[in-house]
Structures are given as C-alpha cells and as structure tokens.
Amino acid sequence: MSIYQSVLLPDGNTYSLPTGLFINNEWKTSDKTFEVIDPSTEKVLTHVYEAGVKEVDEAVNAAKKVMKTWKDVPGEEKAKKMLKLAELLKQNIEMFSVVEAADSGKPLETNAKEDMKSVVDYLIYCAGFADKLHGTTIPIATNRYAITKRYPLVVGQIIPWNYPLSMASWKFCPALACGCTIVLKSSELTPLSLLLFADLVKKAGFPPGVFNVVSGFGAIAGERIANHPDLDKVAFTGSTLTGQKIMRNAASNLKMVSLECGGKSPLLVFDDANLEQAAKWASFGMMYNSGQNCTANSRILVQDKVYDKFINLYVKAVKEDWTVGSPFDNKANLGPVISKKQYDKIKSYIQKGKDEGAVLILGEDSDQLRSLPKDGYYIPPTIFKNCTQDMTIVREEIFGPVVAISKFTTDEEAIEKANDSEYGLAAMVFSENFGRIQTVADQLEAGSVYLNASNDEDTRVPFGGYKMSGIGRELGEAAIELYTQTKSFYMNVSHRL
C-alpha cells in the first residue's frame, strides 16, 4: 500500500490523503494497517499504517534528538513558523473540514468548519507566547538574588476522537510555542485530519523531529507513549479509566502528566431564570456534536416550581433546533455517533434508563425514527425526566445525545445534587439573580462554570476539571505552564560565604 491514497469522500470528491506514520518529517510504513470507517455510512474510507512500540520509539528518538538544537531557536522564529502553519491551514480549510466530517461524522457546515477555524485561531494566539516565555527575578538579600528560566519538554500527546484536530491543537499549539518537541498519537477512530495536518507542518518549515504523528491503538502505541523513559511529559484527553492507566504508566519515570477526562456536567435551572433561554442553551450544550462532549450538560436539574414548564420548553427547543442527518446534508446539524461500539453503548444506557424507572419523553417516537438515515450510527436526541441520583444515566458518562432531567426544591439541594458526582469538568447555572448565581457557582465542584450559558468556552480561558475529570489546565496562558519546567539559579554577587 502506498503512503498517499486516493479516497472518495461523501462530498463526491476524491482526495489524496497520507496514510503513513509521520516521523522526522518523513512518511514511514509499518507492518500493520487498520481500517478507517465513515460513521455516517459504515463504509471503509481507507486504511492507515499502525504504529507499534518500534515506531513510537523511532518518533521519540527523533523528537529527543532535535530538541538539542530546537530549544535554542529564538522564540520569534518559532512564532513565524506557527503563523505560517496557521495560514496554510486557512488556505486548505475546506479540504480539512471535509476530511474531518467524513472521518468523525461531524456536520460539515456547523461543526467541522468551525473546528478548523478554531485551530487557525489558536495557532495565532499561541504564537504570541513564543517570544514571551519570561522567568522571574527574586531578591534574597542585598548581595544575593535568584532568577528562574523556563525550559521546553519532549512530550507525548494522546488525542481523542470527538474533536480530532481541534483537541490536538489544544495540546500542540502551546507545546510548539514553548519550544517543545512532540509525538502525537491520534485516535484509531479518527486519524485522517492529523495525518493531513502533518504535511502542513513540514511545509511551514518546522525541522525534522519537532512534530511527529503516529496512528495506532491505545493499548500499544498509547501505552508506549505513557511509559516511555525519554518523554518528559504526557498529555491526554479521553476517558477517566484510560487517564488512570496513563498515570500508572507515566510513573515509570515520573514524567509530568496532564489529563482532561470525563464529565457529567450539571445544568441548574432556578425558578427566576429566563426559561426560554435556559432551554435553548441546554439544548445546544447537550446535543452539539451529537452529545459527544466531555462538558455536555447531560444532567439537568430544575427547580420544582418551574419543572414542567421548563421541560416543555426544552423538548420544544430540541425538536426545533436539531435535525439528524448526514454530515454532508446542509439541513442536518446532528450527525452520527462515532462507531458501532459507541452506538451500542449509548443504546444500552437508554435501555437502563427505562429499566430503572426514568420516563422517556423524547427519543423513540415514530417520526424521529423514520427520519434517521438508513445506514450509519445515528441516535436521535433522547430525553428522560423524573430521574433520581441513583440512576445509571445520572451517574455515568454516556457520551451521546441522551440527557437526564431531575428536580430540586432548594438552592442547597441543587448544589448537593450537582456535586454528587465523581466528575467535575463543567457546570451551568441559570438565574436572573446575580447574588444567587454567584453564590451557587462558587460552591460547584467544576473547573468551568457557565452562568446563563452552556459550552461557550474560549481558547483564552483556562479549561480543566476537578476530581476524576482531570489534572491541569489547558487553553489560555495556563497552558504555557503545562509545557515548560522551571530551573532556579542562585546568584551570589559578592562571592562571599
């Protein structure tokens, strides 16, 4: 099999896509390949080469070798290369969007293109840090002081499938700005856009070894990245269970670890909220990207006085706002879930919800089911009400377009129920009373709290979780801290003891 394959995508065009392993600015092959499946059609798009331990080691060796010279390249030169990379992506944004839509099932216009634009924007944002990685001066005595300097790392980055290139950019943009060298492992479900992006990295002028991309499976390539003795850090986005495994493997050489893991985000609706706006935001925050968001507001808690009214508005908003269909159907804005395995998992959660006594109010009516495409892993927006804290659909992350609605009476009960979770990635609060909204938000155990909004994060703002939702903060200036380590220098001016 040749490195570049001609792939017919659902938009009707054929694209030449790289399928190899991008190591040291060269395309490599391996002994194995695996299928890449379009979740909207269940058809094989192409095959890509699979990285094993040998290939990961080769990529790490390249990254470690080039660090000897790359770390001394001036920050402004690194910034120029990042800006060039942003411009190259911008010039090719249509092709990247089509590839991402076919690979992940994202609606082309409303999701995939927006994701690509966000990568361009974040490259530009992080490029601004490349020549501003200052240390500090610390006075100790009249004849003594200390200075600190930041140093880049050789890093491994493991990327999820729900936002293949966008989530990768959350990691490689600050890492490149800090002068790190990188080995990225894409998800085996969505490898294509990162491979395509690797070609742009080379065109932008990054030296061999700075940016390496391997496609492969977590149990082999991911585990090797996590336990590799020559990596200084590993960054991961994905499930909490996998995050725990990565931490155990990273202990092999006590490498730095940052994790963005699962979530079961509560959205609180108080009786003084603008209910129509709350319903619209709750609809967007749950169903966008087919519910495949770590921060999706999959638990909605509504004050008893407005419970029934909110539910009616919410069901109305979901029906009006979301149309299930092919990623390449301009009328559709809710695509398939990623795989047959994920489809079956979500369906089993829906059955558990019914078995445990939750009331299904949307998700299996005849009109919804008739409108689903014949092929593909499509699940319509699904809503349960009268849910209780002990139900599986309330406690476990489903990662699909399924929401559980519960009731509360007092502010204290709302806070208690919201925090009754092993996760703490995000929370949302709707109220017109500023004092109430701030008091409640202060007590929520979540890394991001959206007030009268949901899932409207900005790349300039730190992002990360409490509890089992992760370690560290990505985005904003905080991300720079993830990709440097500090060295302290003690300066004795007088030379005397």
Note the pLDDT tens digit of each residue in 442-467.
Answer: 999 999 999 999 999 999 999 999 99
Q: Are residues 200 and 318 in the same domain?
A: no
Per-residue model confidence (pLDDT) at position 365: 78
Q: Are the C-beta atoms of residues 432 and 306 closer than 8 Å to each other?
A: no
Q: Are residues 242 and 286 in the same domain?
A: no
Q: Determine how many CB atoms are found less than 10 A away from the CB of residue 451.
A: 15
Q: Which two tokens stand for residue 409?
A: 């009476």
**Residue 495 lies inside a defined structural domain of this protein:** no
Q: Which of 223, 260, 445, 474 is catalytic?
A: 260
**Residue 494 lies inside a defined structural domain of this protein:** no
Q: Are residues 451 and 476 in the same domain?
A: no
Among residues 251, 262, 301, 337, the alpha carbon closest in space to that of 428 is found at 301
Q: Residue 51: which pLDDT band, with cuts at 50, 70 and 90?
A: very high
The helix (run of H) or strand (run of E) holding residue 77 is: helix 75-91
Q: Which two tokens stand for residue 258?
A: 């940052």
The helix (run of H) or strand (run of E) holding residue 213 is: strand 211-215
**Residue 78 lies inside a defined structural domain of this protein:** yes
DSSP 290: G
Number of compact structural domains in the chain:
2
Q: Are residues 245 and 384 in the same domain?
A: no
Q: Are residues 367 and 277 in the same domain?
A: yes
Task: Tell me the helix, strand and coil percentages in the chain, rounded to 5.
Answer: 40, 25, 35
Q: Are residues 327 and 380 in the same domain?
A: yes
Q: Are residues 481 and 376 in the same domain?
A: no
Q: Which residue has the tokens 């609180």?
A: 268
Q: Are residues 108 and 91 in the same domain?
A: yes
Q: In a 3-state reduction of DSSP, which class is residue 8?
A: strand
Q: Are the C-beta atoms of residues 311 and 162 closer than 8 Å to each other?
A: no
**Residue 362 lies inside a defined structural domain of this protein:** yes
Per-residue model confidence (pLDDT) at position 172: 98
Per-residue model confidence (pLDDT) at position 374: 87
Query: Is 260 among the catalytic positions?
Result: yes
Region for 179 from its dihedrals, namely left if φ exceeds 0, alpha if ψ lies in -120 to 50, beta otherwise? left
Q: Would you say residue 201 has pLDDT above 80?
A: yes
Q: Would you say residue 371 has pLDDT above 90?
A: no
Q: Residue 145: which pLDDT band, with cuts at 50, 70 and 90?
A: very high
Q: Are residues 223 and 351 in the same domain?
A: no
Q: Are residues 91 and 187 in the same domain?
A: yes
Domain CATH for 135: 3.40.605.10
Residue 478 to residue 462: CA distance in whole angstroms: 6
Residue 450 to residue 428: CA distance in whole angstroms: 5
> Is the pTM of the predicted complex or chain greater than 0.85?
yes
**Residue 40 lies inside a defined structural domain of this protein:** yes
> For residues 212-248, b (16+ Cβ closer than 10 Å) or e, as one string?
bbbbbbbebbbbbbbbbeebbbbbbbbbbebbebbee
Burial class (CB in 10 A: 0-12, 13-18, 19+), 393: buried
Q: Residue 366: which pLDDT band, with cuts at 50, 70 and 90?
A: low
**Residue 463 lies inside a defined structural domain of this protein:** no
Residue 33 to residue 31: CA distance in whole angstroms: 7
**Residue 465 lies inside a defined structural domain of this protein:** no
Q: What is the DSSP string of 352-383?
A: HHHHTTPEEEES--HHHHHHS-SSS-----EE
Q: Are residues 348 and 445 in the same domain?
A: yes
Burial class (CB in 10 A: 0-12, 13-18, 19+), 106: buried
Per-residue model confidence (pLDDT) at position 382: 97
Q: First-to-last CA distance in the chain?
A: 69
**Residue 497 lies inside a defined structural domain of this protein:** no
Q: Are the C-beta atoms of residues 123 and 65 closer than 8 Å to each other?
A: no
Per-residue model confidence (pLDDT) at position 185: 98
Q: Which domain holds residue 286?
A: 266-458
Residue 102 to residue 43: CA distance in whole angstroms: 10
Q: Are residues 61 and 199 in the same domain?
A: yes
What share of the chain in percent tops pLDDT 90?
95
